[in-house]
């Protein structure tokens, strides 16, 4: 099998205007529930997040969705990471979910804002202790000489906070994506895929079908 010759014929389902929720965030929640119900789907909440500098140079990476409700989608990271720096310059964002086992994709475009400190504190306190220590040990996106330095930093902070809760670093916290456009994609035979795009206009969502 080669990149040029590999083919998958999508035939697991269809996507009709009559079957989707009029609110795309509720529809996303439905599809997330479907993905979690499939044991073969690893990390159903993994989403590719794209940011850009103020002059439009893009970058993308996979993060984990940690919340979705009527206000938007939430994820957490270092504010000093590359994506954090780019979001401070240009608070526009795009995100994509892809679940091959379901032959489904969701694309999101919108703006982003930092969560409140209370919201970030509450989530940080729910994380496994080792994950909290790693947020202190790693200066995300910065170069480092060798892996052993990270391990040494982790041990340093484990000793520093021994016997007490690990506080949230002020350089780490959450963002909420406020979607303006959400597109749902369902694979169909012969590459004639279903695409339904939601657009938010004057506080209301409209739905239109796109050609594949």
Residues marked as catalytic: 191
- In this structure, the chain runs to a length of 212
DSSP class of residue 85 equals H
Please state, in angstroms and rounded to a whole number, the distance separating the CA atoms of residues 79 and 49.
15
Is the distance from CB of 111 to CB of 180 less than 8 angstroms? yes
Question: Bridge-partner residues for 52, per DSSP?
Answer: 58
Please state, in angstroms and rounded to a whole number, the distance separating the CA atoms of residues 146 and 67.
34
Specify whether the backbone of 155 is left (phi greater than 0), alpha (psi in -120 to 50) or beta: alpha
Give the count of beta carbons closer than 10 Å to the beta carbon of residue 58: 11
């Amino acid at each position: 099998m080669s990149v040029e010759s590999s083919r998958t014929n999508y035939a697991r389902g269809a996507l009709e205007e009559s079957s989707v929720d009029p609110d795309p965030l509720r529809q996303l929640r439905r599809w997330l529930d479907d993905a979690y119900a499939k044991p073969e789907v690893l990390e159903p909440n993994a989403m590719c997040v794209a940011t850009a500098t103020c002059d439009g140079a893009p970058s993308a990476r996979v993060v984990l969705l940690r919340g979705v409700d009527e206000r938007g989608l939430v994820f957490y990271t270092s504010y000093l990471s590359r994506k954090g720096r780019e979001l401070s310059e240009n608070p526009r964002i795009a995100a994509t979910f892809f679940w091959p086992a379901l032959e489904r994709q969701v694309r999101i475009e919108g703006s982003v804002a930092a969560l409140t400190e209370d919201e970030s504190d509450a989530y940080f306190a729910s994380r496994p202790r080792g994950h909290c220590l790693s947020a202190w040990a790693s200066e995300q996106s910065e170069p480092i000489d060798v892996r052993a330095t990270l391990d040494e930093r982790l041990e340093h902070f484990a000793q520093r906070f021994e016997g007490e809760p690990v506080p949230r670093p002020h350089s780490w916290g959450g963002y909420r994506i406020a979607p303006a456009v959400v597109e749902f994609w369902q694979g169909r035979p012969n590459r004639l895929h279903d695409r339904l795009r939601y657009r938010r206009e004057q506080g209301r969502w409209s739905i239109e079908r796109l050609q594949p």
